Structure 1
Amino acid sequence: MNKATVEKDKNMGLNFWEKNLKTLWIFSVLWLLLISFVAFLVNLGSIGLMDKTEPMFVEAARQMVITGDWVTPYWNGETRFDKPPLTYWLVGLSFKVFGINEWGARIPSALAAIAVVILGFYTLRYFGFSRANETQNSDKKLWFSAFIGAAIIALNPFWIAWGRTGVSDMFLSSGIALALLSFFLGYGYSGTSSKQYLGLSIGRLWYIGFWVFMALGVLAKGPVALVLPGVTVIIFLLYVGRFIEVVKETPWLLGISSFLLISVPWFILVTLAHGQEYINTFFGLHNVQRFTSVVSRHPGAWYYYLPVILVGLVPWSIYLPLAIANLRVWQRQKWVNSPRSTHLGIFCLCWFLVILIFFSSSVTKLAGYVLPLIPAGAIIITLFWSEKVENKQEESGIWPLLFWLSGLANIGILMGLGAASFMSSQLIGEDIMMPQFKELLQASNLAMKGGIIWSFAGFSALFLLFFRNYRRWLWVANLVGFMAFFTWVGLPVAKIIDNQRQLPLRELSEMVKVERQPGEKLVFLGFMRPTLVFYTQEVVDSVTEADIDNGPAFEYFKKTDGPATVLIISEDKYLNKLRLTNSDYEVIRQEGAFKLIRINKQTIINKN
């Protein structure tokens, strides 16, 4: 095939993508709807709230709705200053539209997750180049980057898990992701487009979006939503040598004004209402102390987040090291001299590393802290695969070997997931909270289905890797396998777990509404289950195991006012710690491991 023929075929391909632009956008919308529906909307409200964090946020939102106080968050009769109000506001507004239910509690998180998928698609569609100095004529490659990128952002365990949970993590993560994607769109368009809307260039509008989404992130979880994007942008601009350039073109007045107008008023109002109490709790405990000391018994080594990311982005994460290396960050001069439109990979690498290093430096560690880097990792992996699909010729040197090893590791993970599914009944231990889970799982044949799905994906990946011309399609096995497993196995298993672990508490909560006498205290013994507060819609007093062991439990019952009896929800092991026998109390109902009992307070006091 001569050079003229190649150029002719290339031009025919470009003409196809240009002539069918409307069809491509229609297909894009359908594709985004499909992956968003599968990942975030299917069975969204089919299971109850999950202890312990979700019901705390959701109940605080419900309190805002019923009290009309949209400034001060309350939970279980006390102020809750852990987080700013965006989660409570969005869930509360959802309750007003859809009613107070699980679907209404979770749809704001789902929509936030979907917004990142959509903006990620849009960014990749116009700036999804994987190399410095790459030509902008590869329209086909950009479309492919957008399609697969949206799927990888959406279809991974972390983005799905938090996109289906009514907590603040998704609002912080989506705020950071939308802010950084907006910045890059402003950065990219400022170098390529002169279009104007509302008297502002499209680049300047996206720059303003950067400040707007940071403000929403601050309202979701605090100053970290300003610090992390700000540091990311500074490091990126210094690396590509565009710092002064971008400082000059940024609409600082409009951007900062937008940020302050959105983020500051609530902090002023809540501080005026609660003063030092709010400042000490939010800024002191939940920002400074979480970074400098262990809070809520959540320590971790410096490498804590490396396996977390591996699991959070599985099965895509196995290619992340190779995808990062493929950016060739050591060739800085090439990036400095390349057009802005080709810088997305380096930008996402800065985004990824800033968040990883920041939270690895924190003394308190939780898996959800690195959720904001998931879209960045997904885009880096996307750029790697878009290059592989477009470039049919393998590179020279060590790169083919590294790809081959990554492919083998990919197959190993898929086969391992298949084996784990087949053997799940042997791997699952006994859990008093889910006494029938193993039997129900076996009866459902879901473990068998999961094993078949992952095994099929593994063998498909093996086939694709073995034949050289098909290796660039290896990602298809991951995509199809993940979607099939999540839809046909993951969601049904979640329902079984909910029926075993959370349904008993919901049923006891309904019984409390019937049985509770006026003024009678409701007490939970043991590890507090916040779902009780939401589902009973009552204040629930908590007596912990430490209170029982060290004596404060008996003092609590001595000082409790109201009727002579109390309602207690607990497991037998905690009742036994109080030295109570079956004859000491009335069992109203037992569900799973929990009992709802009525007992005279003096009976407990006499056991001391």
Structure 2
Amino acid sequence: MISPFNGLMRYLRQENESLMRDLGLLAIVFGTLFFQGLGALPLIDPDEGRYIEIPREMLLRHDFVTPMLNGVKYFEKPPLHYWLNALSLTLFGENEFAARFAGTLCGLLTVLVTYYLGRRLMGRRVGLYAALILGSTGGFLVQARINFTDMTLSFLLTCAFGCFALAQREEERQKGLWYYLFYISMGLAVLAKGLIGIVLPGAVIFLYLLFTKRWRLLAEMRLFTGGLLFFAVCAPWFVLVSLRNPEFPQFFFIHEHFQRFLTKVHHRYQPIWFFVPVLLATLLPWSPLIPAALKRGWTERRGTGATLFLVLWAVVIFAFFSKSSSKLIPYILPVFPPLALLIGAWLERGSSPRSMRWHAVGVGTLLLALGTAAIAYPLTFPKPEIGLPEGVLVGGLFLCQGVAALISGFRGEPVRFLATMAITAYFFCLIAPPVIYARVVPDVANKEFSQAINQKAGKEVRIACYSGYEQGIAFYTHRRVIVVGDPDELTFGRDQGGHAEWFLDFDAFHKLWDSGTPLFTTIKQRDLPKLEANVKTPITVVTKVGRRLLVSNRPVETGQVPANQ
């Protein structure tokens, strides 16, 4: 009788398994992982609150052209992700599952597209290995389950790069189909996050043509008809939004693209090496294999165009965002699929038993060190973000993975190592993130504040944010919020006029507090003394979440509570 593990290895070694069967099994296995408990936790601000409130306001106003947030124009991103979330809200209602559904679906589809691309370019085993690697990567899973635009962009860029990679093959019989799908995918990527939807594919393809000297591909790329199709997909919205909002082009193209890339105007500057440790951490447990996979892909560049294209896909995007003056962790999500394919190709045909053993030792040692550090963290840091039980759980899972890597790599068999690490990584992703989220997320979410507002604040009560705009409150309460002090990302919308009563400086708000107008206000605990020193009306603490308070200038149903208690 064959054991389940040996059955899995035999399945992984097969080259001619049905395409539909593989896709179905991958969809079930990773669909379970990606969607389990998706709506269990409150929205994680600021991103999740922002990217679900905008589509909620679209549905409320029946206007899908001009994005608005808290009642003001918001042009930092194009609308595709908002449209997908609006559809999700329509299908599933206003809840956390609906807020995350579109992005999570894009994450799952990225795994499936990666499998299909690997199968077509380098064989079934490489495609299957890459899908297992990508789907069991903790950093990819975590970001797929958060509502923001980057996973939608990553899926569409994967489709665009994949369609070009298939179309450019000499033996491809459906070149026209793949090229046209390439242009459609780029158009949708532009609608998802702007000009990088065409800049990144353009840069990678240019370098690919330069290295391979296959300039003749330009003649077969359907540049004219494909360009028309690209503009037919993305241009209508840009034209409509510009006609309705003449201020849009300057803000979106200059401020949100060129200034974001070239300057520190968005206050997201990080050193050029920032994404190196980010990639190492987010691609665990597979990240120690990246150097060997890239090296192998580069050495094979003359034998097959596929590996060179994958190397350029990963390196160009990584270098582009490393050079940018604005950096956030999700920006490098589009490099995950090509790296998964390169690692899968290295495991399938590029790793000798000796090399496999050494890399397994490296992976195992790193995971053992991380496990030890995770257990020690809550014991040694004065104010740890997680408690000892969570530290022991995460650390124990890392230790199990480390031991599994050392044992499975001892024989130098890549398939055994892959199967073992994929299984342990899968269970790590299944167990660890929900436990960590349950401990950390409530302290940064606004659901508890919103529930208190809905229960205790009548329609005559105005809601304010004293310490920066709290994104999720408008979504949960269906109320517009007064922003006190720096409006930050709402500055552009505020400056369009007609919103003076919703954006107050501190002096104006202090006067409003003492005017008799009933207020419920969110405030950071460190800012409470400032409010106390500048108002006369007693401050009532309604509830407290982490280091933030919900306060009011009138007694609440439970009785007035002094603010300093």
TM-score normalised per structure 1: 0.81
Deviations, residues 163-215 of structure 1 (Å, cap 9, x unaligned): 11221111222111110011111123xx2243xxxxxxx22101111110100
For residue 55 of structure 1, report the CA deviation from its aligned partner: 0.8
Aligned to 2:182: 210
Q: Is the 8 A contact 2:348 2:414 kept in 1?
A: no
Counterpart position of 1:430: 383
Q: Does 1:90 align with 2:90?
A: no
Deviations 1:371-412 (A, max 9, x none): 1111111111111111157xxx65xxxxx56x5543332112
Whole-Å Cα distance in 2 between the matches of residues 127 and 368 of structure 1? 27
Secondary structure in structure 2 of the residue aligned to 1:597 = strand
Corresponding residue number in structure 2 for 1:457: 401
- What displacement does 1:253 show? 3.5
Kindly indicate whether residue 146 of structure 2 is the aligned counterpart of residue 165 of structure 1.
yes
Unaligned runs of 5+ in 1: 1-12, 129-141, 195-201, 395-399, 601-608
Q: Which residue of 2 aligns with 1:534?
A: 475
Q: CA deviation at 1:588?
A: 3.2
Change over 3 Å in CA distance of 1:534–1:428 after alignment to 2: farther
Instruction: Specify every segment of 5 or more residues in structure 2 that has no aligned partner in the other structure, as ranges.
Output: 1-9, 489-503, 555-565
Mapped contact 2:466–2:523 kept (Cα < 8 A)? yes
- Please report the TM-score for the alignment, with normalisation by the length of structure 2: 0.86
The one-letter code sitting in structure 2 at the alignment partner of 1:358 is: F
Q: Give a deviation string over 1:136-160, Cα, whole Å, max 9, x none.
A: xxxxxx2221211111122223322
Q: Choose which of 29, 32, 40 in structure 1 pairs with 2:24.
A: 29
1:270 is aligned to 2:241:
yes
Deviation at 1:427, TM superposition (A): 4.7
What is the CA-CA distance between 1:428 and the residue it aligns to? 5.2
Q: Shift of residue 318 of structure 1?
A: 0.6
- The count of residues paired between Structure 1 and Structure 2 equals 527
Corresponding residue for 1:420? Answer: 373
2:163 counterpart of 1:182: yes
Match of 2:318, SS? helix
| Residue 289 (1) aligns with residue 259 (2) | yes
Q: Does 1:567 align with 2:520?
A: yes
* TM-superposition CA deviations, 1:550-606 (whole Å, max 9, x none): x94113343789853322222332121223499822333444443332227xxxxxx
* 1:388–1:457 Cα change, 3 Å: farther
Percent sequence identity over aligned pairs: 26
CA change 1:149–1:576 in 2 (3 A) is: same
How far apart in 2 are the matches of 1:362 and 1:553? 34
- Greater mean alpha carbon deviation, residues 262-271 or residues 286-295: 286-295
User: Which of 542, 558, 561 in structure 2 is aligned with 1:588?
Assistant: 542
Structure 2 vs 1, CA of residues 358 and 571 (structure 1 numbering), >3 Å: closer, same or farther? closer
Match of 1:494 among 424, 437, 440: 437
How far apart, in 1, do the equivalents of 2:368 and 2:400 lie?
9
2:229 is the counterpart of 1:258:
yes
- Per-residue deviation at 1:473? 3.0
Shift of the alpha carbon at 1:87? 0.9
1:148 matched to 2:101:
no
Q: Residues 372 and 395 of structure 2 are in contact (CA less than 8 Å); yes or no, is this contact kept in structure 1?
A: yes
Deviation at 1:518, TM superposition (A): 4.1
**TM-aligned CA deviation for residue 49 of structure 1:** 1.0
Judge conservation of contact 2:513–2:519 (CA < 8 Å) in 1. Answer: no
Give the superposition deviation at 1:350: 0.7
1:494: Cα distance to partner?
1.4
Once residues 65 and 565 of structure 1 are traced to their aligned partners in structure 2, the CA distance between those partners, rounded to angstroms, is 29
User: 2:57, 2:415 → 1: CA distance?
Assistant: 52
* 1:234 equivalent among 206, 211, 229: 206
Whether 1:280 aligns to 2:250 is: yes
2:323 corresponds to 1:361: yes
Answer yes or no: is the 8 Å Cα contact 1:454–1:481 preserved in 2: no
Q: Give the match for residue 419 of structure 2.
A: 476
Contact persistence 2:156–2:189 (CA under 8 A): yes
Q: Shift in Å at residue 293 of structure 1?
A: 0.6
Q: Does 2:492 match 1:525?
A: no
8 Å Cα contact 2:539-2:551 kept in structure 1: yes
- 3-state secondary structure, aligned to 2:40: coil
Q: 1:543 to 1:415 in 2, by over 3 A?
A: same
* Residue 509 (str. 1) matches residue 450 (str. 2): yes
> Are residue 315 (structure 1) and residue 299 (structure 2) matched?
no
Letter in 1 for 2:242: T
Q: Does the CA-based 8 Å contact 1:234-1:243 persist in structure 2?
A: no
Q: Is this contact kept in 2: 1:521–1:562, CA < 8 A?
A: no
Q: CA distance change for structure 1 residues 447 and 326 in 2, over 3 Å: closer, same or farther? A: same
Indicate whether 1:578 and 2:559 are aligned: no
Give the distance between the partners of 2:475 and 2:487, measured in 1 at CA.
24
2:168 alignment partner, SS class: helix
8 Å CA contact 1:152–1:378 kept in 2: the answer is yes
Aligned alpha-carbon RMSD (Å): 2.7
Please give the alpha-carbon distance, in whole angstroms, between the structure 1 residues aligned to 2:426 and 2:182.
Answer: 32
- Closer/same/farther in 2, CA of residues 56 and 545 from structure 1, 3 Å limit: closer
From the CA coordinates, give the structure whose radius of gyration is larger.
Answer: 1
CA separation in 2, counterparts of 1:572 and 1:449? 31
1:479 partner amino acid? A
User: 2:70, 2:474 within 8 Å by CA — same for their partners in 1?
Assistant: yes
Moved more, 89-98 or 111-120: 111-120
In the alignment, residue 30 of structure 2 is paired with which amino acid?
I
Q: Measure the CA separation in 1 of the matches of 2:513 and 2:334.
A: 44
Deviates more, 1:207-216 or 1:115-124: 115-124
The one-letter amino acid paired with 2:427 is: A
